Structure 1
């Protein structure tokens, strides 16, 4: 009887082992499947991906915008470009150390802002430039050629190019004060009428930074 019972138990234990193996295999497959499913659910949601998207979105000035935002960017691009052109003229012409430093600071600050505003307009589907007739309020003419506020005329730019030493330093400070005041006026219009938060933030930076530079240049003129 004992031998017979052992014979009967042996198949049962084999069956039990088989069932256990199948169950374990099923659990393993489920785990693998769950792992693959979870890994497929996080596409585009990783911290690095989110950070990258946030950065690129910031450069493109996300959010609502209006005509005032477009006008601000389209007008400030050529305004900044002329300021950068004036700043570059200081190399080999300026004699005052503060003027040289200020010119370098203007170029360093405004050139990246030009690229930023161009990226905004591209993301908004708007051209980089517009005729003066489409930008009312920006033709104050303080540059003497009927252009937007603070822009230097071709004649004034030629005078700056031919000046050297202390003469250049004085002309540069006088012209850049006028140029900066024009930019500040444009930035105030953006703060008042603009809608896009990134554009309004840049306008705030223009007002703050260029107001400080105007005060610095006035002090320079007082001692030249």
Structure 2
């Protein structure tokens, strides 16, 4: 065998060995999987784990609580020049101070989640559910003054707060966003305390 022939024979053997190795890798599922992992591809499970941490209940809570809070503030604003009991005036000031920042928070969440604020609903799109006052109720409150206003306000706000507590409890049970659940818990606790306060004020009105 000449030197040239020997060199060609060795090269051919090396090429055959390399082909067999590559064929073996292609037939080995573990090797193929290892190659894809090394290439940096991600699995569907990994992608789903990064999905946004909120659900439809969170969006519904924010959308519905915003007009609910706005009506409570509108009711509280009527106390100026109409209410006579200083305890009622103090309560209305606290309601406005607490609920206006919550509206800003809820609005910010809807923006963050890419959700429409009202989902096609008007200001009173909730109807009269969840303790929302009717237009007739609001006009009656606007027309009242003195002790009559104090009594009407307390009666109506108790109903209004009761609706908010129910909405908050639904969010706590069904929501997913941790911050939205925490706010719902705060609303439930604070407004439950104010309901008890208003019931006491109503019982002692005029005294």
Taking structure 1 as the reference length, the TM-score comes to: 0.65
Which of 134, 151, 154 is the aligned partner of 1:170?
A: 151
Counterpart in 2 of 1:209? Answer: 190
Counterpart in 1 of 2:25? Answer: none
Pair 1:189 & 2:174 matched: no
Question: How far is 1:130 from its partner?
Answer: 2.5
Which of 126, 142, 148 is the aligned partner of 1:161?
A: 142
* Correspondence 1:145-160 to 2 at 5 A: 146-160=127-141
Question: How far is 1:131 from its partner?
Answer: 4.9
Q: Aligned Cα RMSD in Å? A: 1.4
Separation in 1, partners of 2:129, 2:61? 11
* Correspondence 1:120-131 to 2 at 5 A: 120-131=109-120
Taking structure 2 as the reference length, the TM-score comes to: 0.71
Pair 1:80 & 2:72 matched: no
Question: How far is 1:223 from its partner?
Answer: 1.1
Q: How many residues align?
A: 151
Q: Secondary structure at the match of 1:186?
A: helix
Pair 1:199 & 2:180 matched: yes
Structure 1, gaps ≥5 residues long: 1-62, 133-137, 140-145
Separation in 2, partners of 1:131, 1:181? 25
Moved over 4 A (4+): none
Structure 2, gaps ≥5 residues long: 1-51
Pair 1:115 & 2:104 matched: yes
Separation in 2, partners of 1:166, 1:157? 17
Pair 1:220 & 2:201 matched: yes
